[in-house]
């Protein structure tokens, strides 16, 4: 990677993940796309190799790496060309299970985290609702105390890993009188809990090897021991993990854009047109050069932000910038790469066609671009733009 922000352990991780993708993903990804999910044995193997516990405590089976490990893993999974596979893993490692790792009490951590790290339990997080996406404060799912239990009612939608997960972290409003972001709590809900069900599997434009569900909670009773973190403090837990989630998605987008440019370079070097290769057409190679420069700049920004986060610095503005920047950039890259592939790039089953479909959601999921830009705008210096 030749990045000044990465250490030797990160380069070793890059090599390990890239080798896994080459040996275990590239020849099977099409089948996973067709069936709509990544097989459990594959995820279990990733857990055994240590990919699911990069930033978790060693005593639970983790590696105790920092945010830079997240960036490297995400980028390499993005390079796989199978966005559905990548997001299946990243939701488990960096969007769902961090809720347990960050807020779980000793009993909860001992009960669940080793299995989560080992790939024996796959996780999902239930925040988005039919009328509450980026606006988390608009959540309507309710949790009411009944004796020593909490009873949950509501619907969650667009939940990645929602069909095949074993462990769900569900956000619900526990104080109906509190306004906006106040009065939201997080709960651990195991698959098979009475009153909790997968209402339907959702079909998608892209990320087709990722299972996505609508979840329904109907008088779903969970004991007090399954409350995750402090009651009425769940909104802040969600906001805290959004920074991790958005950094991961930005790095994934950089990996996707990098791989698309590599594929396009190879194609244009070997595709003849008008007596020479497409690469020898200045209009094409100059455009590829321009996109490559932009992706390289985005990668440096990702690595620097991951390094800053690892130093304990506040990076909300930078992560919001990255999510907006990379979500837009990967779509721009895919548009031109597909254009340079011509008719071949429009054929179903080709890597570029699949990657174009997968990239579209990068400007939507995890915080829509316009929402991210508003987060950036609120944090710009009144005395001028200061990084």
- Residues that are catalytic: 245
Rounded Cα distance between 138 and 150, Å, is 21
Count of C-beta atoms within a 10 Å radius of residue 297:
12
Decide if 92 contacts 44 (C-beta within 8 A).
Answer: no
SS3 of residue 35 by DSSP: helix
Buried b (16+ CB within 10 A) or exposed e, 198-219: beeebebebbbbbbbbbbbbee
Rounded Cα distance between 242 and 239, Å, is 5
Q: Which residues on adjacent β-strands are paired with residue 186?
A: 171, 228
In the chain, at which residue ranges do the beta strands (DSSP E only) sit? Answer: 123-126, 142-146, 149-160, 167-173, 184-190, 196-201, 212-223, 227-228, 272-273, 276-277
Tell the residue number behind the tokens 């950036």, with chain if given.
Answer: 376
* Pick from 338, 315, 331, 314: nearest CA to 365: 331
At 366, give phi and psi (nearest 5°).
75, 10
Instruction: Specify the DSSP class assigned to residue 47.
Output: H
């Amino acid at each position: 990677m030749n990045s000044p922000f990465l250490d030797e352990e990160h380069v070793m991780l890059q090599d390990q993940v890239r080798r896994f993708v080459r040996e275990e993903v590239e020849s099977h990804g099409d089948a996973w796309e067709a069936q709509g999910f990544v097989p459990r044995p594959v995820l279990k193997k990733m857990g055994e190799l240590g990919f699911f516990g990069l930033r978790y405590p060693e005593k639970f089976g983790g590696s105790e790496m920092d945010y830079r490990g997240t960036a490297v893993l995400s980028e390499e999974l993005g390079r796989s060309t199978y966005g559905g596979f990548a997001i299946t893993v990243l939701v488990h490692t960096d969007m769902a299970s961090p809720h347990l790792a960050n807020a779980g009490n000793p009993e909860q951590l001992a009960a669940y985290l080793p299995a989560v790290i080992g790939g024996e339990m796959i996780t999902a997080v239930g925040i988005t609702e039919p009328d509450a996406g980026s606006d988390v404060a608009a959540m309507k799912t309710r949790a009411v105390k009944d004796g020593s239990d909490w009873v949950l009612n509501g619907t969650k939608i667009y939940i990645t890993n929602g069909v095949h997960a074993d462990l769900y972290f569900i956000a619900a409003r526990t104080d109906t009188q509190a306004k906006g972001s106040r009065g939201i709590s997080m709960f651990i809900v195991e698959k098979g809990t009475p009153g909790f069900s997968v209402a339907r599997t959702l079909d998608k434009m892209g990320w087709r090897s990722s299972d996505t569900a609508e979840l329904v909670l109907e008088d779903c009773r969970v004991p007090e021991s399954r409350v995750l973190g402090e009651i009425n403090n769940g909104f802040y837990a969600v906001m805290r993990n959004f920074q991790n989630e958005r950094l991961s998605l930005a790095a994934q987008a950089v990996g996707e854009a990098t791989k698309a440019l590599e594929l396009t370079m190879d194609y244009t070097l070997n595709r003849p047109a008008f007596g020479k290769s497409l690469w020898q057409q200045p209009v094409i190679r100059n455009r590829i050069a321009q996109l490559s420069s932009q992706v390289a700049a985005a990668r440096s920004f990702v690595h620097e932000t991951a390094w800053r986060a690892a130093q304990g610095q506040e990076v909300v503005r930078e992560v919001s910038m990255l999510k907006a920047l990379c979500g837009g950039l990967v779509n721009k890259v895919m548009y031109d790469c597909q254009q340079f592939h011509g008719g071949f790039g429009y054929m179903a089953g080709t890597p570029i066609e699949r990657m174009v479909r997968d990239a579209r959601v990068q400007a939507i999921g995890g915080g829509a671009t316009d929402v991210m830009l508003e987060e950036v705008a609120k944090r710009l210096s009144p005395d001028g733009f200061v990084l």
